A and B are shown apart, each in its own frame.
Chain A
């Protein structure tokens, strides 16, 4: 069973995506801010991270940077799931090493899971 770490500060959205993931047979870990996100990547060993960008404390870009700077973590695939969606942000995220960048409002949880499956293949 694959484990997905969800880093998302909005409770409603976090619950919706976690429930859907659990329903589709994934093991789910959650983090509510950037700090806890980094800790959880280390402690939970997820197979993939769903990373929001706008987070209290350190933001998603910083979390991504920290992951890529750590040789133990840089291989973990990351899908950015954010409502910040200007071309600049998307390019920045992909250049920093994210595997994909999805705008939350444009995808359903089912479609997000399809993207996860594509990355995990």
Chain B
């Protein structure tokens, strides 16, 4: 089995760093995008095995980006985990409506996130 690629769409440098360091211990290959638009482009350029999508992003929201990817036949089947702020009522519903595979509220535990990733896309 070849190495699995994960695309992380997040504008905050520290959050990206957490995931980068978390996945450095694993066999997953990480690609990063800093806003919704470039996230969608990156997924279309090279099909990832999993996308981690933040909700509040510059240029295009994570929900809209998810909808775009679901609408594109090439990326329609890629699993997407939406990461959002807690407390916003109906976020889970919105993530579900946009076509997310799973939903995770911030602040998440890196341990839990890794478990979730492994559950959806087992390491090579």
Partners in one complex: no
Residues of chain B touching chain A, judged by Cβ–Cβ distance below 8 Å, are: none
